[in-house]
Structure 1
Amino acid sequence: MRFILPLLFGIAGVAVLVSLGVWQVQRLAWKEEILARIEAKIAAEPVALPESPEQEADKYLPVEMTGRFQPGLLRVLVSQKHVGAGYRIISPFETEEGRRVLLDRGFIKIDGEMRAPPTGPVEVTGNLHWPDDRNSSTPENDLEENMWFARDIGQMAEVFETEPLLVVVREMSPEDTGATPLPVDTSAIPNDHLEYAITWFSLAVLWAAMTGLLIWRMRQPAKGAET
């Protein structure tokens, strides 16, 4: 009888931990489905720039437009794996239809040469994006030094007097030699559910092993007891 309580406690603990692991597996399937939908949307055929884009419906929407770069650029401090620190270059862009939008041209190294974009008409293929670069530790943008730490679309649009609309370049013709495109993808969207599931299942195995060890020790005769 004295083994029943530890056994029940052990079974309950394993059940809870296994259920948490199963829940994370279900969350993994849910997240992978979302990522697959986003990737399909990113890779879809580009369309003309919508008249009134909406963040919820049009995020990641592939678009194509023709126009010219306008004077000015903003530098957003970023870091690229295997490359190091550098800047995202944001420039104002005016389409043939007269719309002014923000264009994320891509990446240059922090010590790279700042080259001007093409001067003539440019054909751009990219994706609409409303990035969420800022967190609680992100410094405020330094407009005087042109040092930005987040792509705050509203603030950038005020500086350049454009629509609060950002297009992240995927391809450009003629090529922009002043920056290497950083196309929109899903790499920045966290998906840690597999690691969480492994953690919960591992804890369940450990809990079961510890329960078994406890019961085994309880069944051993007391040290010095008569046989």
Structure 2
Amino acid sequence: MRRFLFLLVFGIVGGGLLLSLGTWQLRRLAWKQGVLAEIETRIAADPVALPAAPDPERDRYLPVRVAGTMGAQELHVLVSTRDFGAGYRIITPFVTDSGRRILIDRGFIPTEAKTAVRQTGAMEITGNLHWPQEIDSFTPAPEPDKNIWFAREVPTLAAALDTEPVLLIARSQTDPNVVPLPVTSVGIPNDHLQYAVTWFGLALVWILMTLYFLWRTRARSRS
């Protein structure tokens, strides 16, 4: 009898814990979906003037329109896209009409277009401010002598091009041969549904195994 009660309590506690973890992940899923919807709404809002002192947290994804002069100097950030394959993001200094010097992510070029000449000079650009977090322990160090960079680390790129640590990712096209890669929420992870399914699946297995052991224990006690 004691063994039966122990298995019953053990099964109820373990199953309840696994079910609570699955329920918690569902709550996290609803929260994350709300965050992503808010980000998408912010990304698609009407553009405003460049803030006087952009903040990486407050102004992340802020839609901005700037007018000024596109420089000729470029940094090439190695990327691989689902639609275009391997290539580079073109990061260029941009001097606004008010004299501020910021970074512009003009978009994507294929690897064979690395040395091509791109349009510079006066233009107006619409895009979103962003401070991407793309560096981890596996990110290689940049190769400035080859003009190959492996992450859009804004302070590092800004130091290389002598600009403010402000990156505007263009939504509008700045050159016929450069494909804009605008900011979206697609790359933001949202795995809470998978986690919830995993926890509920484990809870089901736990409950079935508990019922099986209870049945065996009861059957043995009767024999």
* TM-score, shorter chain, exceeding 0.5: yes
Q: Are 1:17 and 1:204, in contact at CA under 8 Å, matched by a contact in 2?
A: yes
Q: Deviations over 1:84-141 (max 9, x none)?
A: 2211111111112221111001112223464433234211100001110101110111
Determine helix, strand or coil for the equivalent of 2:86: strand
The structure in which a higher percent of residues are helix is 2
Question: Which whole-Å CA distance do the structure 1 matches of 2:217 and 2:86 have between them?
Answer: 59
Answer yes or no: is 1:13 the counterpart of 2:14: yes
TM-score between the two structures when normalised by the length of structure 2: 0.93
Match of 1:188 in 2: 187
Instruction: State the AA in 2 paired with 1:218.
Output: T
Question: Any stretches of 5+ residues in structure 1 without a counterpart?
Answer: none
Match of 2:24 in 1: 23
Match of 2:88 in 1: 87
Answer yes or no: is 1:168 the counterpart of 2:169: yes
Q: Are 1:115 and 1:178, in contact at CA under 8 Å, matched by a contact in 2?
A: no
Answer yes or no: is 1:48 the counterpart of 2:49: yes
> What's the CA shift for 1:170?
0.5
Question: Which whole-Å CA distance do the structure 1 matches of 2:97 and 2:24 have between them?
Answer: 51
> What's the CA shift for 1:221?
4.7
Q: Are 2:88 and 2:114, in contact at CA under 8 Å, matched by a contact in 1?
A: no
> What's the CA shift for 1:218?
2.2
Number of aligned residue pairs: give it.
Answer: 221
> What's the CA shift for 1:82?
4.3
Answer yes or no: is 1:71 the counterpart of 2:54: no
Question: Which whole-Å CA distance do the structure 2 matches of 1:119 and 1:143 have between them?
Answer: 22
Match of 2:201 in 1: 202
Question: Which whole-Å CA distance do the structure 1 matches of 2:8 and 2:51 have between them?
Answer: 63
Moved more, 115-124 or 71-80: 115-124
Answer yes or no: is 1:107 the counterpart of 2:108: yes
Determine helix, strand or coil for the equivalent of 1:29: helix
Question: Which whole-Å CA distance do the structure 2 matches of 1:158 and 1:39 have between them?
Answer: 30
Determine helix, strand or coil for the equivalent of 1:47: coil
> What's the CA shift for 1:72?
1.0
CA RMSD of aligned residues (A): 1.6
Q: Deviations over 1:67-89 (max 9, x none)?
A: 22112111111111243221111
Instruction: State the AA in 1 paired with 2:194.
Output: E
Question: Any stretches of 5+ residues in structure 2 without a counterpart?
Answer: none
Question: Which whole-Å CA distance do the structure 2 matches of 1:113 and 1:72 have between them?
Answer: 12
Match of 1:212 in 2: 211
> What's the CA shift for 1:32?
1.1
Moved more, 190-199 or 74-83: 74-83
Matches within 5 A, 1:123-162: 123-162=124-163
> What's the CA shift for 1:53?
0.8
Question: Which whole-Å CA distance do the structure 1 matches of 2:84 and 2:211 have between them?
Answer: 50
Identity of aligned residues (%): 50
> What's the CA shift for 1:149?
0.5
| Aligned CA distance change for structure 1 residues 113 and 136 (closer, same or farther; 3 Å) | closer
